[in-house]
């Protein structure tokens, strides 16, 4: 059985947040390659991991360097790629290069530092940056699998995705994923457990079952969904992050300001809904009398009209916090 068939049978989904079927993405690259016979194929490893509270990629690189590089090489061989790019935050570049280079023999790979923050985690922004262009997202379609780096078929996958490709190739994949757990818990860290576990089961199995009054931000430390204790029977989606907040010790207004400042610093300025919306949200949350109706309206506009996922993701955590927890505490 060829590798793509194995990945398809395993049901592997991308672990960068979008959860797109990995086999389908690889097949799309091969289809584009057949149509563009004179165009090279590229493999890009997205190791930006810019979402607060997410640390699984760094964990994998430190603990499983050989397996990760094996997965990257398998992708390049399967798709006929002549070159790979490893894209990570500038602060991690030296360490990641030192850890991975010894296992890169036989593969032309370039380690490329990001210089535009959170927005570079979006795959088309990543490609624009590697090409030396302004760091902002592209209009899709066409998708990177068809017209990616330098207009050629390009595979962009997350670190965790490539790691599990190597595990699948060995016939050892059992449907696991990595979870980053933090906040008001006893045992913060990164854990590998079955992807089918509910959020409540993940917390229990890792010895992090919260006590008292709490809420959880699931999927990311800024864009993650807000969940109450009664909502933890579902599996975790997105980037695999769980942050537990002690309700009695958390000031919701301060949390809102932290999120908005993160998004404000990370936005690229390309589209007005996100650029102007974040500016106004930041301004509103700095006022003594907060216009909550106006804040909600801006979040809804950003969700419906923003060009890329950064602007669209602002709505869920903010409105979730307001509706489920409230923001009266200051």
Mean pLDDT of 294-318: 93
Q: What percent of the chain has pLDDT above 70?
A: 98
Mean pLDDT check: name the lowest of 116-120, 127-131, 289-293. Answer: 116-120
pLDDT of residue 330: 44
Q: Work out the average pLDDT over 48-61.
A: 91
* Most confident among 53-57, 166-170, 287-291 (mean pLDDT): 166-170
Domain at 3-169, CATH from 3.40.50.10420, 3.40.50.11540, 1.10.10.10, 3.40.50.720: 3.40.50.11540
Q: Do residues 321 and 252 touch, judged by C-beta distance below 8 A?
A: yes
For 87, list phi and psi in degrees, rounded to 5. Answer: -110, 120
Q: Give the mean pLDDT of 73-87.
A: 96
**CA 127, CA 149: separation in Å to the nearest integer?**
6
The answer to whether 205 and 240 have CB atoms below 8 angstroms apart is no
Arithmetic mean of pLDDT, 289-293: 94
Query: Band of the pLDDT at 185, cuts 50, 70, 90?
Result: very high
Which residues neighbour 253 within 8 Å (Cβ) at sequence distance 6 or greater? 285, 290, 327, 329, 330
What per-residue confidence (pLDDT) applies to 327? 65
Q: Residue 301's pLDDT is what?
A: 96
Using DSSP, how many helices (H) and how many strands (E) does the chain show?
13, 9
When pLDDT is averaged across residues 127-155 and rounded to a whole number, the result is: 94
Q: Where are the domains of the chain?
A: 3-169, 176-246, 252-324
Model-level pTM?
Answer: 0.94
Q: At what angle do helices 315-324 and 252-266 cross, to 10 degrees?
A: 170
* Interior/surface letters 87-123, b for 16+ CB within 10 angstroms, e for the rest: bbbeebbeebeebbeebbeebebebbbbebbbbbbbb
What is the pLDDT, as a whole number, of residue 1? 64
Which pLDDT score, from 0 to 100, does residue 57 have?
93
Q: Strand 214-218 to strand 241-246: parallel, antiparallel, or no bridges (unpaired)?
A: antiparallel
- Statement: residue 107 has pLDDT above 80: yes
Tell me the C-alpha distance between 50 and 39, whole Å: 31
Nearest-5° Cα angle at 303, 298 to 304: 100
Question: Is domain 252-324 classified as CATH 3.40.50.2000?
Answer: no
Helix/strand/coil for 226: strand
User: Could you give the count of Cα atoms lying within 13 Å of 211 in the half-sphere of its Cβ?
Assistant: 2
Mean pLDDT, residues 282-294: 94
Confidence band for 120, pLDDT divided at 50, 70 and 90? confident
Lowest mean pLDDT: which of 118-122, 264-268, 292-296?
118-122
Question: How far apart are the C-alpha atoms of 260 and 222, rounded to whole Å?
Answer: 8
What are the tens digits of pLDDT across the range 189-236? 999 999 999 999 999 999 999 989 999 999 888 999 999 999 999 999
My answer on whether omega of the bond before 202 falls inside 30° of 0, hence cis, is: no
Average pLDDT, the chain: 93
For domain 176-246, give the fold.
Ubiquitin-like (UB roll) (3.10.20)
Q: Does residue 266 carry a pLDDT above 90?
A: no
Tell me how many degrees the CA angle 278-313-90 measures, rounded to the nearest 5: 80
Whole-number pLDDT of residue 37: 84
Q: Token match 């810019």: residue?
A: 50
List Cα–Cα distances, 242 to 50, 119, 321, in angstroms.
15, 21, 15
CA distance 47 to 59: 11
CA distance 95 to 108: 19
Cis peptide bond upstream of 142, omega within 30: yes
């Amino acid at each position: 059985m060829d590798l793509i068939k194995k990945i398809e049978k395993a049901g592997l989904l991308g672990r960068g947040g979008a959860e797109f079927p990995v086999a389908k993405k690889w097949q799309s690259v091969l289809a584009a390659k057949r149509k563009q016979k004179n165009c090279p194929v590229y493999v890009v490893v997205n190791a930006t991991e810019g979402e607060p509270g997410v640390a699984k990629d760094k964990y994998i690189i430190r603990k499983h360097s050989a397996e990760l590089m094996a997965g990257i090489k398998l992708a390049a061989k399967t798709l006929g790629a002549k070159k790979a790019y490893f894209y990570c935050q500038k602060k991690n570049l030296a360490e990641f290069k030192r850890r991975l280079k010894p296992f890169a023999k036989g593969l032309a790979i370039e380690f490329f530092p990001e210089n535009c923050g959170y927005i570079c985690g979006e795959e088309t922004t990543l490609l624009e940056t590697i090409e030396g262009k302004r760091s902002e997202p592209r209009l899709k379609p066409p998708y990177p699998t068809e017209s990616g780096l330098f207009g050629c078929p390009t595979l962009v996958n997350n670190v965790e995705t490539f790691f599990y490709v190597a595990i699948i190739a060995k016939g050892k994949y059992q449907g696991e994923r990595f979870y980053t757990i933090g906040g008001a818990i006893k045992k913060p860290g990164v854990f590998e457990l079955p992807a089918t576990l509910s959020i409540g089961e993940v917390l229990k199995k890792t010895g992090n079952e919260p006590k008292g009054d709490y809420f959880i931000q699931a999927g990311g430390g800024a864009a993650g969904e807000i969940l109450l204790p009664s909502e933890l029977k579902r599996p975790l989606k997105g980037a695999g992050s769980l942050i537990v907040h002690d309700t009695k010790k958390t000031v919701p207004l301060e949390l809102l300001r932290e999120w908005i400042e993160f998004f404000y610093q990370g936005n690229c300025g390309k589209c007005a809904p996100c650029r102007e919306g974040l500016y106004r949200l930041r301004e509103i949350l700095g006022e003594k009398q907060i216009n909550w109706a106006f804040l909600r309206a801006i979040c809804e506009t950003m969700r419906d009209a923003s060009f890329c996922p950064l602007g669209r993701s602002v709505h869920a955590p903010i409105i979730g916090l307001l509706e489920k927890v409230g923001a009266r505490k200051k």
